[in-house]
Structure 1
Amino acid sequence: MHIEVPKKKVSKSDKEVFEFLTDIKNFETLMPANIDKFEVLDDKTFKFALKGMPEITLRLKEQIPHEKVVLGAASDKLPFTLTGNITALGADESEVSLSFEGEFNAMMAMMIKSPITNFMETLSTNMGKIGQ
């Protein structure tokens, strides 16, 4: 299953956005208002829960300086990745595109597509909070 949300312009350099996204504790800033729990487990891992949803643990899997940050599920039960691609638009502006990639059966995909799309749209919208 592949989900992409519209790109978001951010009034920060690609370097600043990359540094923000690779600092795990900053993800709390990007979370939706209906967050129930957010806990940093170590410098590469955090877990969170949204109201009415199970806890999800994400780990920083890959990083290409100033270009790409990949978070993945810490559990192999539901393997997926959340990728942020960063494009410099100028000295103080960049664009972030978020994509989700996961292997799910048809029933599971149908159940989670809408909540994941909404979640990713919120993350993208909240990218504007970087550096505030």
Structure 2
Amino acid sequence: MTVIQNSIEINKPVGEVYAFLADMNNHEQLMPENIYNWTSTADEARFTIQNMAKLSLRISERLENQELVSVPIEEAPFPLTLRWKLEAVSEQSTKATFVIEAGLNMMMKMMASGPLQKLVDFQVNKLKETLG
């Protein structure tokens, strides 16, 4: 399993960050420009990654103010789990870690690791920018 992750500190209470991430409708704001055909509900999101694949994700686990886990609803190009881990640094500050766990063979790892790392980096920075 390939694990790709990044963390960032956000000047918001953990409950506020969790509430934002717990609604899949909000995740569209965290996506790069190469994501289109976005549709979502509070629990699911469907979208297309330009020149790559269509993905449908569902929040499969919720640990309030600690972790959100999303998994593919339909067949994905490879086994995939996305996790947002949250940790209160103080009353007004939260450490958010975005983790992608991907079952990649060597060939896929060479092709997909870079774009997946860029996605993780983009999303943690966009989360901080969005929540201020």
Offset of residue 37 of structure 1: 2.4
Aligned to 1:69: 68
Check conservation: 1:29, 1:129, Cα contact below 8 A. Answer: no
Listed as ranges, the matches of 1:1-132 within 5 Å are: 1-40=1-40, 42-77=41-76, 78-131=78-131
Task: Output the CA distance in 2 between the equivalents of 1:2 and 1:10.
Answer: 26
1:107-128 alpha-carbon deviations (Å, 9 max, x no partner)? 2222211111111111111111
Task: Output the CA distance in 1 between the equivalents of 2:82 and 2:11.
Answer: 22
SS for the counterpart of 1:109 is helix
| Aligned-residue CA RMSD (Å) | 1.7
Task: Output the CA distance in 1 between the equivalents of 2:21 and 2:130.
Answer: 9
Which aligned segments of 4 or more residues in structure 1 are displaced greater than 3 angstroms?
129-132
Task: Output the CA distance in 2 between the equivalents of 1:125 and 1:43.
Answer: 22
User: How many pairs were matched up?
Assistant: 131
SS for the counterpart of 1:12 is coil
Task: Output the CA distance in 1 between the equivalents of 2:75 and 2:60.
Answer: 13
Task: Output the CA distance in 1 between the equivalents of 2:131 and 2:100.
Answer: 24
Offset of residue 76 of structure 1: 4.4
SS for the counterpart of 1:43 is coil
**Amino acid of the residue matched to residue 129 of structure 1?**
E
Check conservation: 1:2, 1:99, Cα contact below 8 A. Answer: no
What TM-score does the superposition give when structure 2 sets the normalisation length? Answer: 0.88
Check conservation: 2:2, 2:104, Cα contact below 8 A. Answer: no
Task: Output the CA distance in 2 between the equivalents of 1:23 and 1:87.
Answer: 18
1:22-78 alpha-carbon deviations (Å, 9 max, x no partner)? 1010001111133222111x4311012232221111110111000111111223453
Task: Output the CA distance in 2 between the equivalents of 1:97 and 1:2.
Answer: 16
